[in-house]
Structure 1
Amino acid sequence: MSIADPWERYIVGYDSRMVQQVQVRDRIDGIDLVETVTVRPLRIYEKTDSGLVELHGEAADSAMADFWAADEQNNKINTNGEIEL
Structure 2
Amino acid sequence: MFRSQEAGREPVETFYDGYVVNAILDAAYKSAETKQWEKVILPVWRGREGLSQETTLVDYDEHYYLVKEELMTHDGRHKIILKDKVTGKIIERDLV
Larger Rg: 2
Q: Which is bigger in relative contact order (C-alpha 8 A, separation at least 6)?
A: 1
The answer to whether the superposition gives a TM-score over 0.5 is no
Instruction: Give the TM-score normalised by the residue count of structure 1.
Output: 0.26
Instruction: Give the TM-score normalised by the residue count of structure 2.
Output: 0.24
More helix by share: 2
